[in-house]
Homo-oligomer: A and B are copies of this chain.
Amino acid sequence: MSKIPVLEIFGPTIQGEGMVIGKKTMFVRTAGCDYSCSWCDSAFTWDGSAKEEIVQMTAEEVLNCLQEVGGERFSHVTISGGNPALLKNLDELINKLKENAIEVALETQGSRWQDWFVDIDDLTISPKPPSSTMITNFDILDDIILKLKDHHRITSTSLKVVIFNEDDFQYAKNIAKRYPEVPLYLQVGNRDVHGEDRVNLTSTLLDQYEQLIDRVVRDEELNDIRVLPQLHTLVWGNKRGV
């Protein structure tokens, strides 16, 4: 069996954001990303700073580790990164989880298609807005959404855009117009991914969340939409592994 570069396995905890916000889940974080977003909150997955922590694991080994850490206390696993869609062989892990009646969520920025997308129960495509300094390849994103539609996977899919400023907001409106059939989630951007003062961070994030709600509420072109904070950041600040 082939190997997957794994950086973290932890849980169970709560999914703090997006389409299954609040869900009890385990996390598997893979290493490596084809992007380098200015505000990446998982830069250690690709900037070399956690290189020593990467473990090459087979699907079987990942499942064993999940069971060791999570015991009988989970039935849902979230695969995040980095960009797990760089890993063609992730189907081995996904199949193994499903064989064990475990639901699978996955988040990717939508820069690359993988055939196993159609096996994910909760697939979040999170294209990156201008503030990230990344450029969305809309030919690829169009193709991904079209393929998911063709496979009748839209009910298992969502789009998520993180909002830091007005340009990002306009980008999100464009996404809403371009893919009206896909549920869209806006998420408050966390400007302070290293800050350690939880109370301050919470208060800032809630203020920014209120401002984002206010912006959405006033907009006639953005009605079928959900606006969310990151719950894990509100509860635990920027701590890793919770």
Contact = CB atoms under 8 A, between A and B. Distances in A.
A217 interface: yes
Contact of A73 (B75, B76, B210, B217): B217
Contacts of A100: none
Interface in A190-217: 199, 202-203, 206, 209-210, 213, 216-217
A217 B228 CA distance: 22
A14 interface: yes
A203 to B, nearest CB: 7
Given A14-B213, A228-B21, A231-B229, A71 B220 contact: yes
B223 A235 contact: no
Given A21-B21, A71-B220, A73-B219, A203 B213 contact: no
A23 B21 CA distance: 13
Contact of A228 (B11, B22, B236): B22
Chain A residues touching B, range: 35 or more
Main secondary structure of the interface of A (DSSP, over half): mixed
A12 interface: yes
Contacts of A71: 220
B199 A203 contact: yes
A217 B20 contact: no
A41 interface: no
Interface string A220-232: 1011111111010
A185 interface: yes
A218 B199 CA distance: 26
Scoring A203, A219, A222, A227 by chain B CB atoms within 10 A of each residue's CB, the highest score goes to A227
A216 B21 contact: no
A73 B219 CA distance: 6
Given A13-B217, A202-B202, A202-B206, A23 B75 contact: no
Enumerate the 6 nearest inter-chain pairs by beta-carbon distance, A residue then B residue, closest first.
A22-B226, A75-B223, A22-B228, A72-B220, A23-B226, A12-B217
Interface of A: 11-14, 20-24, 71-76, 103, 185, 199, 202-203, 206, 209-210, 213, 216-220, 222-229, 231, 234-236
